[in-house]
Amino acid sequence: MHVLILGGTTEARRLAELLAGEAGLRVTSSLAGRVAAPRLPPGEVRVGGFGGVDGLADWLREHRVDALIDATHPFAGTISANAAAAAALAHVPPLALRRPGWVAADGDDWRPVGSLEEAARALPGLGSRVFLTTGRMGLAAFAGPELAGLWFLVRSVDAPERPIPARVEVLLDRGPFTLDGERELLRRHRIDVVVTKDSGGSATAPKLVAAREAGVPVVVVRRPPGPEGVAAVATPGEAVAWVRLLGG
């Protein structure tokens, strides 16, 4: 049985580790190639795109894939849509592995928005020193002249793509992050507003606790809905159970 994992996340790596111990399984993990030095999972690994829906469908047929698990980032909407469509074309059962989103706690000051552009429009009046943790792509939304008076601390694994905000300091770092470290970062840079995507998971959640403790508002970009008709699970263990059930 051949399982293709669309990966790049902590959950995808953990799923590949769990499936590597299953008898009678061939596991291939596909990485988009957007990170210069990704953490490679066990098993076969391919890097790069497939060429859209038709290219992925052809790959599924050519490599005789029996199950497709989309374990990409919750905000990788295009990839998830393409995966669902390709699986339907190739008649391969799909599954989405999605970590649960974050839930606000008592004392949180969250400002939910629907996009990076909405997040940028929400910033004036909230603060002047922004901790921007939305990744290296899409920073053009914060590069407009209307935000020229704000200072940004941008944290990402690799150097961000331009255009970027006019007044910016780039911090290249990879999670997981600690609560003490996030507290010190907010204090040292005098951060008074945080912008994040609702990625979920524990690796980057400490910034939310640090912001709550400091009374700092957090602009939270809501995650997009997943493709219709694709079953979803929240943990790698549940995905393994799905594969076992599929294999009979």
Could you say which residues of the chain have pLDDT below 50? none
> Looking at residue 202, what is its pLDDT?
84
Structural domains in the chain, sorted by start: 2-100+224-247 (3.40.50.720), 110-221 (3.40.50)
pLDDT attached to residue 158? 86
How distant is the alpha carbon of residue 118 from its chain centre? Answer: 19
Q: What pLDDT, on the 0 to 100 scale, is given for residue 182? A: 97
Please say whether the beta carbons of 186 and 216 come within 8 A.
Answer: yes
Distance CA 194, CA 191 (A): 7
Question: How many Å apart are CA 74 and CA 71, to the nearest integer?
Answer: 8
Collapsed DSSP state (helix, strand, coil) of residue 156: strand
13-39 tens-digit pLDDT? 999 999 998 889 999 999 986 665 677
pLDDT at 32: 81
The pLDDT assigned to 33 comes to 67
